[in-house]
Structure 1
Amino acid sequence: MHPNCDEKAINSHIMQKNGILSAISDDQHLWELSIDHFKQEYAGFKRKGINKIYTFTGFCNHHDSIIFSKIETQGKIDFNDYESCLLFALRTAYNEIWLKEVVIKMQECVIKSEVDIDTWMLEETIRQNKLAIIDMEFYTQAMWNDLQNKTESFNFEFRETDYQEICLNSIYTYDTSQEIMDYQMKYKRDMERPSEIFISYFPYTNKSILLMGYHKDDAQKVKGYVNLFFKENLKKLNRRLSSLISFNCETWVCSNNFYKEKLEGLDSEFFKAMQFSAKNGNERKTFNVDFFKDDFKKNFRSFIDKNVG
């Protein structure tokens, strides 16, 4: 995925294996929310080895090593350093592109198989994912330009919170489903470019780090929303993060202890949460769920029963 490289890509970890993922692993394994589109309830938790979990096919071995060395092999990470923050966003962006490419290939294979199925929805999914990849290239081109020319096209904020054994690296679309639909209805075309927010949340040196970034062209639209994550108290922040993780973000992993305490037995509820999110229309809404409270399991089940059934 490096713009000037034709070498074979390796499986790259979204978050560094040594020092972050390994620190929360149990017997070199972690848990992830796994998606299997061939099952009726296509979301469920799965335990995987650390060498295979949280990876994507992105960069060749050479570029993977040299580009990200600043945040992986050069000592303590400086979150006040622009380039370090940018590298977290770059990995997240290319993982998102890779995920969309996988979906496109899967849908194309189903269409080619000539299975008796209405292909319109599959073709629309392919179209939407191809558009999303084009939109994402706006961000990746700006990132490469920043790395090459020492410019700063993004705003980043970071915050330390209580230590939690969970890693999140995701892209969150600021524009809600309802806003995008309203735009399409009003202008009879797709929104030119949704505004994306890059989010990383991970344990580091006995704390957890929340890192968020957005393109400066989108500052007027998204700055106020992003600032909420850094100015509100910890109780409100935990609810915001919990809503994002539970309803809007799929790219995260956690330790065995976190899974046992918070998530074990909630496979069906998380699948229903995805269904709820798809129909919600307002992805910026914060719900009364808190991953980090002892009674999360009970409250999450109650929320799903009440709102989804």
Structure 2
Amino acid sequence: MRRQDIDNAKRIDDCSKQAKEKANTCLHPGCNKKAINSHIMQKNGILSSISEDQHLWEFSIDHFTEELFVFNKKGINKIYTFLGFCNQHDTEIFRKIENRDGINLNDYESCLLLALRTACNEYRIKEVVINTQKCVLNNSNNTFLIMGLNEAIKQNKLGLKDISFQIDSMWKDLQNKTESFVFKYREIELIEFCLNSIFTYETSQEIQDYFTKYQKNMERTSDIFISLFPYNGKSVLLIGYHKEDEVKVKSYVNLFFEEDDKSLKQRLSSLILFNCEVWVCSDRMFKEKFQGIEKKYFSNAVHYSTQNGNEREVFDIDISSPNFKEEFEKLINNNFL
């Protein structure tokens, strides 16, 4: 790695650390206490059910490697966590989905709490990214970099605004016992994988076309909350969206619940590989599916996800297939190389 690249990587890493240190206030409305590290999904019963020796694998960003995106193995106490809420609010708000009786997926509030954790984690991620970009911007004299960062900050602020709309609606639901969201779930055979992400229904091309036509950004994009997690020997797919977006997203969401298992797994695999960044997997799944192809996976899948104008595209690939590595190699060679 060149000296300049090392300096740039160190600058980004330093800025990222500073940004994370600042983003530590409880996300409960009106609370100024320090947030604690809490799991995005429950450690006991969910993450623990697919862990081996109390460890799981997640992928992360490493600014000091050429691959940039890497897998890391972490202990179950530290993996899949975020600084979301103070100890008091983390305990009080999420008690319903943390109790020993399990999660009632037919209960609206339980589904809402799972979506709230996902939304708050995404909010925190964007908050850290924006503050990191601002820090790098303030320490750079590269004209092209400055232009790029200004645009990136602008777009991330729009994303933060969209997530804030969802979170505000969730808090109102919890306070007023209203139901502003639609939730659906489905059980499939176990995949040793845990995913909690927000998927924007509008494709990059649709967003660009809107801007070209109206010379302004969309008032708000339509966010879909997607969770896939192990539960009682199965994998549960839980999807939610705001009722204001129902006309636009309902038919798309219904595909996840009307398709057969094979088609569903292809749809989920396409989302996971090209559009979702917040997930962990078991040691067995990492070794069977990703070990040995990490570089090709990230250098092509991640690059493609930034260039593809149709994020709803579905590929002929199944992450749960015994032949996944061969299928993925074929997909990459035929489409992206």
- Smaller-chain TM-score range? over 0.9
Name the amino acid aligned to 2:219. E
4+ residue runs over 6 A deviation? none
Q: CA deviation at 1:163?
A: 1.0
Name the amino acid aligned to 1:236. S
For 1:127-206, what aligned pairs fall within 5 Å after superposition?
A: 127-206=154-233
CA–CA distance in structure 1, aligned partners of residues 309 and 134 of structure 2: 28
Name the amino acid aligned to 2:275. N
Q: 1:33 to 1:52 in 2, by over 3 A?
A: same
Q: 1:29 to 1:115 in 2, by over 3 A?
A: farther
Work out whether 1:268 is the aligned partner of 2:268: no
Q: CA deviation at 1:76?
A: 2.1
CA–CA distance in structure 1, aligned partners of residues 264 and 61 of structure 2: 27
Work out whether 1:220 is the aligned partner of 2:235: no
Aligned counterpart in structure 2 of residue 44 of structure 1, from 64, 67, 70? 70
**TM-score in terms of structure 2 length:** 0.89
Q: CA deviation at 1:27?
A: 1.6
Q: CA deviation at 1:122?
A: 1.1
Deviations 1:105-127 (A, max 9, x none): 22122122235462111111111
Q: Look up the match of 2:50.
A: 24
For 1:222-241, what aligned pairs fall within 5 Å after superposition?
A: 222-241=249-268
SS of equivalent residue, structure 1 residue 90: helix
Does the CA-based 8 Å contact 2:140-2:146 persist in structure 1? no
Aligned counterpart in structure 2 of residue 298 of structure 1, from 323, 326, 336? 326
Aligned counterpart in structure 2 of residue 70 of structure 1, from 77, 83, 96? 96
CA–CA distance in structure 2, aligned partners of residues 307 and 46 of structure 1: 28
Deviations 1:233-252 (A, max 9, x none): 00000001100000000100
Name the amino acid aligned to 2:203. T
CA–CA distance in structure 1, aligned partners of residues 274 and 140 of structure 2: 33
Q: How many residues align?
A: 309
Q: Percent identity?
A: 59
CA–CA distance in structure 1, aligned partners of residues 100 and 316 of structure 2: 40
CA–CA distance in structure 1, aligned partners of residues 63 and 206 of structure 2: 27
How big is the alpha-carbon RMSD for the aligned residues of Structure 1 and Structure 2? 1.2
Name the amino acid aligned to 1:21. L
SS of equivalent residue, structure 1 residue 58: strand
CA–CA distance in structure 2, aligned partners of residues 267 and 273 of structure 1: 10
SS of equivalent residue, structure 1 residue 119: helix
CA–CA distance in structure 1, aligned partners of residues 206 and 316 of structure 2: 23
SS of equivalent residue, structure 1 residue 288: coil
Name the amino acid aligned to 1:241. L
Q: Which runs of 5+ in 2 are unaligned?
A: 1-26
Does the CA-based 8 Å contact 1:169-1:200 persist in structure 2? yes
